Amino acid sequence: MAAIGAILGGLVGLVVSLSDPETPTAVTRLSFVQDPVLPGEQPSTSTDARDRFIQTQILILTGPDIHDTVADALGLGDEFTLTAQQVGATDVVELQVQSDTEISARDASTAVIEQYDQQRSASVTARVDALLAGIEAEIADLQGALNAEGDSALATATGTEYSRLLASRSQLVLLRSGDQEFTQVVGAPRASAVGGAGTVVQATLIGLLLGAVVGIALALILQRVRTE
């Protein structure tokens, strides 16, 4: 009876595992690059600030905007999903992309990271442009003040501020014209199928074990019934 139960359990486990289709998944390990420190800003180096930054970027990376943009661009179906989590207490984030094939999962991983970089770049550029416009207006005002200034002490103070603004403008122009990457890939996308032979064997072994237990229980019940 135990042997029959084990065989039946193993067959059930095998059928269940085979009926659950494999899900191709591409795993990429990356780290996020902090935004550049703009004139007038103070960099934050605390651990809490770093963790908040990473968790915020994970939400952006796996959010509906990037998901839908990549899905539309690559023509991906409902099996396309994005998940990401921080690896322990490190700066490394593991991105998992599921799709209908291993190739499309890898391609989607690359597209997701590229789209994230584009969004971060657009956000930083908008901040730089807004700050640059304000500084340009201040420079124009100070140029007029320097031309009309009669007090030498006041002219010196105005000239110092004018020099500071020129330096800030140069920094912003350099940031505006440069190409900055906002992610660093530390582990290239590697595709695998969630499921596969290992899952089939595991499900079959569990089925065999449960079947044997049930078979032994039934054998004991039958033996007890017969003795009574």
> What are the tens digits of pLDDT across the range 24-34?
999 999 999 99
Q: Which pLDDT value is given to residue 103?
A: 93
DSSP string for 143-175 = HHHHHH---HHHHHHHHHHHHHHHHHHHHHHHH
Q: Which pLDDT value is given to residue 10?
A: 44
Instruction: Give the separation between CA 81 and CA 141, rounded to whole angstroms.
Output: 52
User: What residues of the chain score a pLDDT lower than 70?
Assistant: 1-21, 148-155, 193-228
Q: Identify whether the C-beta of residue 29 lies closer than 8 Å to the C-beta of residue 187.
A: yes
Q: Which pLDDT value is given to residue 44?
A: 79
184: which strand partners? 31
Instruction: Give the separation between CA 16 and CA 23, rounded to whole angstroms.
Output: 15
Instruction: Give the separation between CA 186 and CA 50, rounded to whole angstroms.
Output: 18
Q: Which pLDDT value is given to residue 17?
A: 44
Q: Distance between terminal CA atoms of the chain?
A: 19
Q: Which pLDDT value is given to residue 121?
A: 93
pLDDT in tens, 170-202: 999 988 887 788 999 998 888 876 554 444 455
